[in-house]
């Protein structure tokens, strides 16, 4: 029997070893491992006190605040998995995620009180809300007597002990929702074992230790944030949370905080490049620069390498269903440009211990050089979608030629080149990446149809840059209302910010393909023509 | 030709008005202190487009290198930075 390790194990060990070391810099304050662990233990004890029925998941409605980080740790310390919500998402979406998750306890930060107030009237069953940083809750208590509100004073009064929970490795560490084509987001269950496989591999590869200073750029609803938190805390590093207002182009933040580990979507690097922030030698403190979430243009990798001359630049790839990232490619200024295809950096090879293969529609394995669907196998492949056996069986399959084990069908097109490097070539379906976020275009179409009252309403990802999209443009034909504002406002009430169309085109004829379906490619070509 | 802060302010307001007109946004929403990106008035991509427009119009290259994003995404901050750049260039 091996030693039971959970996602939180590293943090607990680091707390024993470096209690005085800074674990977290957020909102202008520094928190030592000892202080953060104590708060997490109090939250953990509050969860157990507030629990009327044992349930394996607890929601987290907190954003770039002490409550967000201590909350995630406290939930894990209670032996539960955390379900991040997002105050920048519409109420409806947070409500959907909360309902689908089945959670009855929410850890909330004061920065999310406004969002919570819009959620509360929708909740039909009693909840317990834990506020590690809010005292004035009487107004909520009076207005919603069926819910339990545990404030900062109650949390502080509870005796919490920093300790390893006794849940098994197969239990859920976090549940994250991805865009679903039918409009209902899918909850991906990532187990402690899945997450451990990622953290163990990653810490060893980058030789992380207590002197490292990690960027924290990703929202917690994006699974790449799990890397930031738990790879950092595994060996006593310092997590530097980028303030919301700075996330667009945080060049100064990297310098001021002397970061050693950088992780972001390529879009952030692209903004920095356009703002002339990527000058040669700008970021000498960085040891590693990791990019993931969308295609990485070779020119950008090169620019970043020059700006961060002491860092190793890597391109990572992986869907939430296979835990954070599962392939990588190490950039090299002299050799890599020749390996790139269409100016895009390869996604490389599977992490040691994980597996990939490329298959055709009949799940037959294709040889190198042929384009097919990328499939992922190994200990990072998750158990599938929460309460959705049908979608789970569709996406998690057996591939007879590859022997035992479950493979995740990514829906991504890829090919392996003569060097054994995988190249990402786009999506099989209508899923796109917008600034790194996975988006099913049909989900936006559904909102556009409701907003316009027209069945002929679709969107395309536009503008396209470096193999990924920066936004969405909507096309509507035969709408009653031909005004952009109400349609965009409607979408804002339903969809997260990155899914809101940047503009709406009202057209007289909708282009159709031979099957009579709306021809997105023709719409895309209209936009291309318009831009010369 | 010397460029004044007012020239730049007028250009930015005109640019934003044209951009936002089709979406029915009112002029009063463009206030001096507003954070152009943070308020959702324009996206981060929209900000890059605004930047390109100002740089082209006044033939300047703004250096953001050592600045905090929150310093230059406000209407006032952006106009001031552009004006400082133009002044430095034209002496």
Indicate yes or no: CB of B65 within 8 angstroms of CB of A488. no
> What pLDDT score does A343 carry?
86
pTM here is: 0.89
Q: Does residue A252 sit at the B interface (CB-CB below 8 Å)?
A: yes
Q: How far apart are CA A420 and CA A400, in angstroms?
A: 22
Cβ atoms A495, A90 nearer than 8 A: yes
Q: Which domains does chain A have, with CATH numbers?
A: 32-191 (3.40.50.12780), 434-530 (3.30.300.30)
Helix axes B75-90, B5-21, angle to 10 degrees: 130
Residue A433 is encoded by which pair of tokens? Answer: 């990446």
Residue pair A218/A85 in contact (Cβ under 8 Å)? The answer is no
Helix (H) or strand (E) holding A475: strand A472-477
CA-CA-CA-CA dihedral for A149, A152, A154, A159, to nearest 10 = 130
Residues B82, A396: Cα–Cα separation, whole Å: 53
Q: What tokens were used for A151? A: 């404030």
According to DSSP H, which parts of A136-292 are helical?
138-143, 152-157, 192-206, 224-234, 251-256, 266-274
Q: Work out whether strand A148-150 and strand A422-427 pair parallel, antiparallel, or are unpaired.
A: unpaired
Phi, psi angle pair for A248, to nearest 5°: -60, -45
Phi/psi at A110 (5° precision):
-65, -25
CA dist A203 and A358 (Å) reads 28
Q: What is the pLDDT of residue A331?
A: 98
How far from A402 is each of A326, A358, B25, CA to CA, in Å? 18, 11, 57
The domain spanning residue B20 has which CATH number?
1.10.1200.10
Domain count, chain B: 1
Q: What is the 8-class DSSP label of residue A260?
A: S
pLDDT surpasses 80 at B22: no
Question: A470: nearest CA in chain B?
Answer: B45
Report residue B52 as tokens: 């390109």
Helix crossing, A266-274 with A298-307: angle to 10°?
70
Tell me the helices (H) and strands (E) count for chain A, helix number first.
17, 28
**In angstroms, rounded to a whole number, what is the distance separating the alpha carbons of residues A351 and A328?**
7
Say yes or no for a CB contact (<8 Å) between B43 and A275: no
State the pLDDT at residue A1: 43
The verdict on a CB contact (< 8 Å) between A245 and B43 is no
**A274 contacts chain B (CB < 8 A):** yes
> Chain B residues with CB-CB distance to A under 8 A?
22-25, 35, 37-38, 40, 43-48, 51, 61-70, 73
Residue B36 pLDDT class (50, 70, 90 cuts): confident
Residue of B33, B45, B60 to mutate when probing chain A, most A C-beta within 10 A? B45
Chain A, window 450-489: residues with a beta carbon less than 8 angstroms from a chain B beta carbon: 463, 470-471, 483-485, 488
| Mutation target among B18, B69, B72, B74 for the A interface, most CBs of A within 10 A | B69
CB atoms within 10 A of CB A139: 10
Beta carbons of A194 and A230 less than 8 angstroms apart? no
Please report which confidence band the pLDDT of residue B17 belongs to, taking 50, 70 and 90 as the band edges: confident
Q: Which residues pair with A261 in a beta bridge?
A: A214, A288
Q: Return the pLDDT at A480.
A: 73
Share of chain B above pLDDT 90, in %: 31
Confidence check: pLDDT of B71 > 90: no
b or e along A349-369 (b: 16 or more beta carbons within 10 Å of the residue's beta carbon)? bbbeebbbbbbeeebeebeee
- List chain A residues with CB under 8 Å of B66: 251-252, 255
- CB distance A160 to A44 below 8 Å: yes
Question: Residue A191's closest CA among A205, A176, A201?
Answer: A176
Per the structure, the complete domain to which residue B36 belongs is given by 5-90
Round to whole Å and give the CA distance between A275 and A142: 50
* Strands, sheet with A464-465, edge to edge from the N-terminal-most edge strand: A437-440, A431-434, A468-469, A464-465
DSSP string covering B12-75: HHHHHHHHHHTTT--GGG--TT-BTTTTSSS-HHHHHHHHHHHHHHHT-----TTS-HHHHSBH
Question: Which residues is A94 bridged to in the sheet?
Answer: none
Nearest to A7 by CA among A160, A175, A157: A175
Between strands A355-359 and A372-377, the pairing is antiparallel
Residue A29 tokens, joined:
């304050």
How high is the ipTM of this complex?
Answer: 0.87
Cα separation of A375 and A319, whole Å? 11
Question: Does the distance separating the beta carbons of A483 and B69 come in below 8 Å?
Answer: no
Mean per-residue pLDDT pooled into runs of 10, chain A (532 residues): 85 98 97 98 96 95 98 98 96 96 98 97 97 96 97 95 95 92 84 98 98 97 97 98 91 97 93 92 98 92 98 98 98 96 93 96 93 96 96 96 95 94 87 84 88 87 78 87 87 91 89 72 85 72
Report how far residue A275's alpha carbon sits from residue A303's, in angstroms, rounded to the nearest whole number.
Answer: 13
């Amino acid at each position: 029997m091996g030693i039971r390790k959970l996602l939180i194990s590293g943090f607990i060990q680091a707390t024993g070893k470096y209690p005085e070391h800074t674990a977290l810099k957020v909102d202008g304050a520094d928190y030592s491992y000892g202080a953060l662990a104590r708060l997490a233990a109090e939250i953990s004890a509050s969860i157990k006190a507030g629990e009327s029925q044992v349930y394996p998941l607890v929601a987290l409605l907190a954003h770039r605040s002490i409550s967000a980080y201590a909350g995630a740790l406290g939930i894990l310390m209670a032996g539960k998995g955390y379900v991040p919500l997002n105050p920048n998402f519409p109420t409806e979406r947070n409500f959907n995620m909360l309902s689908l998750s089945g959670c009855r306890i929410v850890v909330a930060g004061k920065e999310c009180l406004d969002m919570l107030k819009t959620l509360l009237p929708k909740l039909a069953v009693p909840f317990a809300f834990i506020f590690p940083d809010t005292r004035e809750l009487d107004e909520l208590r009076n207005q919603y007597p069926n819910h339990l509100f545990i404030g900062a004073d109650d949390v502080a009064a509870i005796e919490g002990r920093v300790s390893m929970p006794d849940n098994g490795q197969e239990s859920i560490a976090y549940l994250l929702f991805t865009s679903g084509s039918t409009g209902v987001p899918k909850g991906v269950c990532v187990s402690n074992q899945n997450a451990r496989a990622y953290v163990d591999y990653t810490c060893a590869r980058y030789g992380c230790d207590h002197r490292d200073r990690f960027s924290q750029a990703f929202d917690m609803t994006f699974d790449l944030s799990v890397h930031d938190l738990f790879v950092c805390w595994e060996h006593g590093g310092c997590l530097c949370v980028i303030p919301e207002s700075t996330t667009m182009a945080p060049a100064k933040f990297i310098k001021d905080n002397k970061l050693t580990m950088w992780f972001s979507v390529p879009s952030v690097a692209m903004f920095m490049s356009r703002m002339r922030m990527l000058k040669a030698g700008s970021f000498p403190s960085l040891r590693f620069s990791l990019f993931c979430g969308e295609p990485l243009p070779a020119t950008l990798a090169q620019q970043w390498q020059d700006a961060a001359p002491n860092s190793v630049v890597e391109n990572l790839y992986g869907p939430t269903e296979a835990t954070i990232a599962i392939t990588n490619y190490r950039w090299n200024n002299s050799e890599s440009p020749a390996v790139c295809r269409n100016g895009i950096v390869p996604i490389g090879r599977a992490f040691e211990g994980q597996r990939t293969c490329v298959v055709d529609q009949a799940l037959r394995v294709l040889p190198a050089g042929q384009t097919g669907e990328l499939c992922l196998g190994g200990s990072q492949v998750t158990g599938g979608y929460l309460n959705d056996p049908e979608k789970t069986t569709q996406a998690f399959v057996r591939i007879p030629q590859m022997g035992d084990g479950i493979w995740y069908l990514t829906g991504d097109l890829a090919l392996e080149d003569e060097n054994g490097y995988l190249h990402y070539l786009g999506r099989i379906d209508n899923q796109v990446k917008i600034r790194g976020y996975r988006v099913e275009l049909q989900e936006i179409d559904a909102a556009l149809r409701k907003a316009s009252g027209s069945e002929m309403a679709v969107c395309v990802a536009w503008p396209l840059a470096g193999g990924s999209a920066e936004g969405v443009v909507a096309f509507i034909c035969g709408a009653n209302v031909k005004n952009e504002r109400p349609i965009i406002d409607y979408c804002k009430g339903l969809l997260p910010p990155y899914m809101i169309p940047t503009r709406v085109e009202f057209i007289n004829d909708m282009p159709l393909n031979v099957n009579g379906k709306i021809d997105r490619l023709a719409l895309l070509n209209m936009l291309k023509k318009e831009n010369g | 030709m010397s460029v004044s802060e007012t020239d730049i302010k007028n250009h930015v307001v005109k640019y934003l008005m044209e951009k936002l007109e089709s979406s029915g946004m009112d002029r009063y929403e463009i206030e001096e202190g507003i954070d152009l990106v943070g308020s959702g008035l324009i996206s981060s991509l929209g900000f890059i487009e605004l930047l390109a427009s100002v740089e082209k119009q006044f033939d300047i290259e703004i250096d953001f290198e050592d600045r905090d994003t929150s310093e230059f995404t406000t209407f006032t901050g952006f106009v001031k930075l552009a004006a400082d750049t133009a002044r430095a260039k034209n002496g």
